[in-house]
Amino acid sequence: MLSVREVTTAYQGLVAISSVSIEVTKGEIVCVAGANGAGKSTLLKSIAGAERPRSGTVTFDGSRIDGLAPHLVTARGIAYVPENRRLFPRLSVRDNLRLGSYLYRGQTDREGPLDLVFKLFPRLQERLEQRAETLSGGEQQMLAIGRALMTRPRLLMLDEPSQGIMPKLVDEIFAAVKRIRDTGMTVLIVEQRMAECLEIADRAYILQTGRVLIAGPSAEIRVNQDVRKAYLGL
């Protein structure tokens, strides 16, 4: 479904990811894990159109998407929840969700995915009129994911959904990611919390200083001795 081939992306000449290749197959949850500064966010930005790769290709459902503007990538069926979530703080939960379905304006079933969003995150339904800035960190993450689902993506990309969130809500969010996949969507998730991410993912990649260090099925990576020592603290 998604194929990233030998992508190199740099900021003002400073290379952040170097010749990174990853594959995502329809129906999978794929985790990209790695430490601070490994290049995880840069990889997602390079797919989402937020950064233009210096070289390499990104192909989605058989068409090249590298170099496309972000809104065109969204229109192709990729939703991206960035690290900082980018909610509209002064707008209500309801209006933030509505803005997610902007692509479907004028259509009678514009709000179709709302049922799924409320099933996944009942807290959002209870807080529809509340301003986004008054939600807790975890609730804001739920809203960001909910808004992304309103675009009806085939591929959902999440950048560290657990960041700055209390443990109980982290579990809720990871559980929701699994349920999202069970509805037929494909998920690419970037995380520093490798253990939790490996638990829900089918396959994983570990990035280290801008390069893919290890790739494989989650079950194999979990028992890899080097990974256990370096990343899982075991």
Distance in Å, CB of 42 to Mg ion, minimum: 8
Site for ligand ATP in 79-118 (CB under 6 A): 83
State the DSSP string of the chain: -EEEEEEEEEETTEEEEEEEEEEE-TT-EEEEE--TTSSHHHHHHHHHTSS--SEEEEEETTEE-TT--HHHHHHHTEEEE-TT----TTSBHHHHHHHHTGGGTT-TTTTTTHHHHHHH-HHHHHTTTSBGGGS-HHHHHHHHHHHHHTT--SEEEEE-TTTT--HHHHHHHHHHHHHHHHTT-EEEEEES-HHHHHHH-SEEEEEETTEEEEEEEHHHHHH-HHHHHHTS--
Binding to ligand ATP, residues 174-213 (CB under 6 A): 192
Dihedral angle sign, alpha carbons of residues 127, 131, 137, 142: positive
Residue from 1, 4, 16, 114 touching ligand ATP (CB under 6 A): that is 16
11 binds ligand ATP (CB under 6 A): yes
How many residues touch ligand ATP (CB under 6 A)?
A: 13
Quick one: residue 110, left, alpha or beta (phi over 0 = left, psi -120 to 50 = alpha)? Answer: alpha
- Of 39 and 100, nearer to ligand ATP (C-beta) is 39
- Contact segment (CB under 6 A) with ligand ATP among 36-44, 150-158, 168-176, 220-228 equals 36-44
Query: Least distance (Å) from ligand ATP to the CB of residue 17?
Result: 7
Beta carbon of residue 43, minimum distance to Mg ion (angstroms, whole number): 9
What is the closest distance, in whole angstroms, from the C-beta atom of residue 42 to ligand ATP in the complex? 3
Residue 140 lies near ligand ATP (rule: CB under 6 A): no
Minimum distance, C-beta of residue 228 to ligand ATP, in the bound complex (Å): 20
Stretch that binds ligand ATP, among 29-37, 140-148, 149-157, 168-176 (CB under 6 A): 29-37
Binding positions for ligand ATP, 37-56, rule CB under 6 A:
37-42
Could you say whether residue 36 binds ligand ATP (CB under 6 A)?
yes
Q: Which is nearer to ligand ATP, 11 or 129 (CB)?
A: 11
